[in-house]
Amino acid sequence: MLRTLRRNLVHRPINKLHRDYDAWLGIDNTIRLSKAINRLLHGGEQRRYDRAYREQFDALLAENGPLLDGAAPRNTMRDGWAIDRSGTLPGIAELLKDTAPLIETRGGLTEEEAQAEKKPFFYSLFEKDDLHRFPSFMDFVLSSEVIATVAHHMGTIPVLSRTRPPGVRFMESNEAYNPNPGGPPQQSQNFHLDIHDRPVVYVIVLLRDTTEESGPWHFLPASASERAAKALDYQKRGQPYRITDEQMYAVADPDDVIRFTGPAGSVLFIESGRCFHYGSRKAIIPRYQMMYGFTTVCRGDLTELVSQGQQHPSAASDATLRKMVLRHE
Ligand SMILES: [Fe+2]
């Protein structure tokens, strides 16, 4: 009885709100409404995270682990993004070592899997117990270097997403399984802004060398994206979520587009809700990435009300900052 009520009164409207956002309220209004509801539910927690960032962040970082260069993280996001191609961020070597054999054994799709995939050009290699089996998956993204870069951009302590996107993704892009090779870009192969929160930040790690032939992430910096969004009336009611190249380049300069190519171990930090982006186009040489998603406590969607999402392991002995990012205090 209670479960049916919950399904009809909570799950169905929320699922409809997010499924039909463009036609129903519009993306912008849906995000605003969701954030307002989440503020009612979690406003106190958000204020605590904001205060901890303002007043105790250095101490929290010190407990979590040292920064490479002392007081400030090596990377600062400017105009919505930063790229580190050094391959030397803490935990990167372990991540590459752990994922290399998994790519060999899990990469590619069977014919049956390719048919079942919604996006057969971009799919998950992640398995349920990976976070327990491979601590490197979490240790990199919860290092002080990564958290500090993201937190300084957000102005608060970030939260590793559990619902959409799952906080930790291990992904392959491969043109070999594209059901419509040479056809127009599909779904996330078109420009869009992510809608999970404002701000929402992705941290993406290249697990193998990635060139133009691997369908790299393409993105516009935040300032160019903001101008384009305004010109397109983007996220207003009735406006589409995906933007074709033709539509985008009518209002944006193709020379402003940045491509996330580089050697294995390169890292992109990006506010994906402010920087238009697409990826996985014509990945002739398959692309392998870890993709991490951070939001604030009060997300811009209501997915936490309908799903528990990905479970992130933690231990009682974990540093306070790590527990806060995982909301495991
Ligand atoms: Fe996206």
pLDDT band of 23, cuts 50, 70, 90: low
- Cα of 191 from ligand 1 centre, angstroms: 8
What pTM was estimated for this model as a whole?
Answer: 0.96
CA distance 110 to 115: 9
Q: Has domain 2-326 been given CATH number 2.60.120.620? A: yes
- Cα of 251 from ligand 1 centre, angstroms: 20
Structural tokens at position 192: 């869009």
- Cα of 71 from ligand 1 centre, angstroms: 32
Structural tokens at position 265: 């171990």
Strands 287-295 and 201-206: antiparallel
For Cα atoms 259, 193, 300, give the angle at the middle one, nearest 5 degrees.
Answer: 140
> Could you tell me the CA-to-CA distances from 260 to 20, 229, 257 in Å, in that order?
31, 22, 10
- Cα of 154 from ligand 1 centre, angstroms: 18
pLDDT digits (tens, 9 = 90+) for 176-228: 998 888 889 999 999 999 999 999 999 999 999 999 999 999 999 999 999 99
Residue 114's pLDDT is: 83
Burial group, residue 132, by CB count within 10 angstroms (0-12, 13-18, 19+): exposed
- Cα of 276 from ligand 1 centre, angstroms: 8
Residue 152's pLDDT is: 98
Instruction: Please check whether residue 221 is in contact with residue 320, taking contact to mean a CB–CB distance below 8 angstroms.
Output: no
CA distance 244 to 184: 9
CA distance 61 to 320: 9
Ion ligand 1 — residues with CB < 5 Å = 194
Residue 22's pLDDT is: 61
- Cα of 277 from ligand 1 centre, angstroms: 6
Give the start-to-end residue ranges of the domains of the chain. Answer: 2-326
- Cα of 206 from ligand 1 centre, angstroms: 16
SS3 153: helix
What mean pLDDT comes out for the span 257-286? 97
- Cα of 195 from ligand 1 centre, angstroms: 8
- Cα of 194 from ligand 1 centre, angstroms: 5
CA distance 305 to 164: 12
What mean pLDDT comes out for the span 291-305? 96
SS3 314: coil
The closest of 99, 225, 89, 106 to 146, measured between CA atoms, is 89
pLDDT band of 20, cuts 50, 70, 90: low
pLDDT digits (tens, 9 = 90+) for 90-147: 999 999 999 999 999 999 888 888 888 888 889 999 999 999 999 999 999 999 999 9
Amino acid at 105: T
